Structure 1
Amino acid sequence: MFPVTDLTTLDKRHLWHPFTPMQPWCAADHVPLMLVEGSACALKDQFGNEYLDGNASIWTNIHGHNHPVINAAITEQLGKVAHTSFLGFTHEPAIRLAKELVDLVPGDKLTRAFFTDNGSTAIESAVRMALQYWKQNGRPQRDTLVAFDRAYHGDTLGAASLGGIPLFKGSGNDFGYRVITVPSLDALDLLTVDDRSRIAAVVIEPLIQGAAGMRLWPQGMLKALDAWCATQDVFLILDEVMTGFGRTGRMFACEHESVVPDFLCLAKGLTGGYLPLAVTLTSERVFEGFLGEPHEGRTFFYGHSYAGSQLGCAAALASLRIFREERVLEQLSAKIARLGELMADLPAFRQCGMIAAMTVDSPDLSLGAKVCLAARNHGLLTRPIGNTLVLMPPLCVTLEEIERMVAALRAALNEVTAPQ
């Protein structure tokens, strides 16, 4: 075992953390927070301090840390085999998980599950499928995707090309797919006939845009977008990487407006926040568009080494079991209501189920980060989006823990914004 001070030195010498300004991180006086233990909604650092996990470990954790059902499922699977290739092979956990996932979606439109590693690759899969489908099924001119302003769909090259936030596109923004970015649903009707004829799919985060600062879409917008896509015979891709698995109060956000897309992209909470796993659910129509003899070249040549991970599928099956046995969704209404009551008077407050956010209007663009840093002293971990402060706890959070989280956020906000 390395002493904590040695680990900190080694971190600064060898690691490069994502979405993290590394110069201040590596400064001599900076002590990184090292998370070493977790239970339910609580996490402990290297000094034994305990915190409430206010952002569900970057929006992934669903049932809390160290849940015995998921722990047991992973342990049982480890006793059999940890990983086998999914390219030309199969296994029981993936078969069972695919069946359970398609059964969760209302109706019978989505019938096929394509497993990958993370949210970006779930989106990549959907986009590639959509483009290849039209190319080899009589409409090769459909080479364009429609995405929305301020959208975020991941960091891989294709997913990033759909994004509407330049900061997340790196040094260059002109790459990837041919994309038309629109600000709203109404803007679709302003597209030229030629543009509309070239659209392969429309991609959207339903109900709420995450990285845009928890920006809510108008009620009914998703339903209207679904109707527009149907009229144009355009595929609808829903990015439910953040909103899936109970975050909005239902299993999937699209259920709020009775929409079933052509592609449903899921990750983050799929395994309860335990292991990397993603899935792209799609229809029999799309699947059949790839059928043919090998020499015809209609195969979907895309995949990842850990696609359909046996351990990940075992964790995901256990997570779905918890939803059923602990009646997770049925218990959310009281928690959603309490979260809203406690935060309603905070500036620019908005809420979508168990996702709550507020924004501080300040010229200091680092104010949000300062508030989150101060919140640690009050036992809360969360991460800002600019000056937007977010609470998105694991769904197992208690009413008392919600109260403590909001109290900690308020205390930190008051400390940072108090006149000097």
Structure 2
Amino acid sequence: MSLKERDKKHLWHPLTQHKLHPEAIAITKAKGCVLIDEDGNQYIDAIASWYTCMYGHCNDFITNRVSAQMQQLDQVVFSGFTHEPAVKLSEALIQILPKNQNKIFFSDNGSTSVEIGIKMALQFHFNQGRKRNTLIAFEDGFHGDTFGAMSVSGLSVYNGPFADFFLDVKRIPTPNGTNHEAILKTLQDIVETHEVAGFVYEPLVQGAAAMKMHDAEGLEGILKFCKENNIITVADEVMTGFGKTGKHFASDYMETKPDIMCLSKALTAGLMPMAITSCSQDIYDAFYSDDMGKGLFHGHTYSANPIACTAALAGIELLLSEEIQNNMLRIKASHEAFDLRIKNHPKVKSTRQLGIIFALDLNTEMARYGNLRDMLFKFFMTQGVFLRPLGSTIYIQAPYVISNSQLEKVYQTIEEALSIV
């Protein structure tokens, strides 16, 4: 019996309606930018498996480091203990994070990193005797599937059944270059009528909102407003972090830095699950007390797992290497050239790019998980390219090691797909 047949017996997959999609493609091997299924078919992974495997699958540099670590220390409780991979990772991260970041808190996935960021923002005020219970977030944002993260997310397709249980969140539009003053007026109205604790946001690119991009100058104005009103800023860089936007972090495009940052996905190069919530010294100091109850009581069994820390350390070393930095520039230039040849196509409504992230919107409206979207996905796979459309948006976020010929195949496949839309 094939893997995909055996899969159907017991497995429940994420973001899947199994009555409509009864079979999953069984992947047996991956290397570089290529996935291989149980029938030997090969697919270029043009979205780096949800933006994680940015240095390619099964990267020898990373797997060799992890293999050695597995012989030394596999797992130890991180409450009351520490170890070299965690210490070294904290030192490496502080070198590349915005300069105001000074403390590192470990968890195990993007949702929990945001959950912790929200708890830090709420408890920051609580520890100082202020009851602030409202959060601000962008419209159409997505921050994960735990309850705090769902609360600040704005995509009801994911969160609708749970809305009655959410935290108090007020939403504002993303800045587009023309609505700055209106957003600031809305923010002023919110702070005059609510006790606002924090602002949770995806800087510059909203991934699940179909790579919707917004204006850096407008975001800078929002962040300054928050600073002036003692609103804790929480940057969700789970998707944007580690070079994808052309800088180490999207927050590097703004002068005003976040108080808290949430990191996962490419953090461990797709090899191990792990997440980090970093914060400034000021945030940490609000928890530093003789009162035990003012501590941050949040913990995960696998926090700071030594193997995951080792994978992250190797990934950062690759990120900073000349080869990867040059590859990122090459991919960016390649996307720009593709944009010139595709943006005026009659089936293309609009295009956008930031760093190695490229997205185009089709002129055809389609449901986020509808028949036309499914047809496109199947077409891409039959052509040997793994692309996962978000409704009428097709996006590319390939590993930094993708070759020019592989990129060209991705581009050609998208162009061919336009003829069937």
Using the size of structure 1 for normalisation, the TM-score is 0.92
Query: In structure 2, which of residues 53, 67, 71 is the aligned counterpart of residue 75 of structure 1?
Result: 67
Q: How big is the shift at 1:314?
A: 0.5
Indicate if the aligned counterparts of 2:77 and 2:303 stay in contact, CA closer than 8 A. yes
Asked whether 1:362 is paired with 2:364, we answer: yes
Helix, strand or coil for the counterpart of 1:192? helix
**Distance (Å, rounded) in 2 between the aligned partners of 1:229 and 1:196:** 15
**Distance (Å, rounded) in 2 between the aligned partners of 1:127 and 1:157:** 11
Indicate if the aligned counterparts of 2:174 and 2:214 stay in contact, CA closer than 8 A. no
Q: How big is the shift at 1:196?
A: 6.2
Indicate if the aligned counterparts of 1:119 and 1:267 stay in contact, CA closer than 8 A. yes
Match of residue 332 from structure 1? 328
Q: How big is the shift at 1:176?
A: 2.6
Query: In structure 2, which of residues 261, 265, 268 is the aligned counterpart of residue 268 of structure 1?
Result: 265
Asked whether 1:189 is paired with 2:179, we answer: no
Match of residue 310 from structure 1? 306
Match of residue 289 from structure 1? 286
Q: Which amino acid aligns with 2:215?
A: P
Match of residue 169 from structure 1? 159
**Distance (Å, rounded) in 2 between the aligned partners of 1:193 and 1:410:** 45
**Distance (Å, rounded) in 2 between the aligned partners of 1:253 and 1:178:** 27
Match of residue 409 from structure 1? 414
Indicate if the aligned counterparts of 1:369 and 1:387 stay in contact, CA closer than 8 A. no
**Distance (Å, rounded) in 1 between the aligned partners of 2:56 and 2:174:** 36
Q: How big is the shift at 1:136?
A: 1.1
Asked whether 1:150 is paired with 2:140, we answer: yes
Distance 1:242 1:57, change over 3 A: same
Asked whether 1:129 is paired with 2:152, we answer: no
Q: Which amino acid aligns with 1:149?
A: E
Identity over aligned residues, as a percent? 32
**Distance (Å, rounded) in 1 between the aligned partners of 2:253 and 2:189:** 31
Match of residue 351 from structure 1? 353
Distance 1:219 1:288, change over 3 A: closer
Indicate if the aligned counterparts of 2:45 and 2:386 stay in contact, CA closer than 8 A. yes
Asked whether 1:381 is paired with 2:386, we answer: yes
Asked whether 1:56 is paired with 2:48, we answer: yes
Distance 1:9 1:335, change over 3 A: closer
**Distance (Å, rounded) in 1 between the aligned partners of 2:199 and 2:353:** 25
Q: Which amino acid aligns with 1:300?
A: L
**Distance (Å, rounded) in 1 between the aligned partners of 2:292 and 2:319:** 43
Q: Which amino acid aligns with 1:146?
A: I
Q: Which amino acid aligns with 2:55?
A: H
Distance 1:194 1:68, change over 3 A: closer
**Distance (Å, rounded) in 2 between the aligned partners of 1:74 and 1:332:** 25
**Equivalent pairs, count:** 405
Counterparts of 1:227-242 in structure 2, within 5 Å, are 227-242=224-239
Indicate if the aligned counterparts of 2:141 and 2:155 stay in contact, CA closer than 8 A. yes
Indicate if the aligned counterparts of 1:201 and 1:236 stay in contact, CA closer than 8 A. yes
**Distance (Å, rounded) in 2 between the aligned partners of 1:9 and 1:184:** 44
Indicate if the aligned counterparts of 1:375 and 1:411 stay in contact, CA closer than 8 A. no
Helix, strand or coil for the counterpart of 1:220? helix
Please, what is the CA RMSD of the aligned residues?
1.7
Q: How big is the shift at 1:258?
A: 3.3
**The 10-residue stretch of structure 1 (369-378 or 270-279) with the greater mean CA deviation from structure 2:** 369-378
**The 10-residue stretch of structure 1 (401-410 or 122-131) with the greater mean CA deviation from structure 2:** 401-410
- Post-superposition CA distance 1:103-156 (Å, at most 9, x none): 11242x11000010111111001110110110111322x211100110000011
Indicate if the aligned counterparts of 2:365 and 2:392 stay in contact, CA closer than 8 A. no
Indicate if the aligned counterparts of 1:70 and 1:318 stay in contact, CA closer than 8 A. yes
Distance 1:170 1:88, change over 3 A: farther
Indicate if the aligned counterparts of 1:44 and 1:50 stay in contact, CA closer than 8 A. yes
Q: How big is the shift at 1:361?
A: 3.0
Q: How big is the shift at 1:195?
A: 4.2
Helix, strand or coil for the counterpart of 2:56? coil
Match of residue 396 from structure 1? 401
- Post-superposition CA distance 1:84-113 (Å, at most 9, x none): 111222111111101111111242x11000
Q: Which amino acid aligns with 1:163?
A: S
Query: In structure 1, which of residues 239, 244, 247 is the aligned counterpart of residue 244 of structure 2?
Result: 247
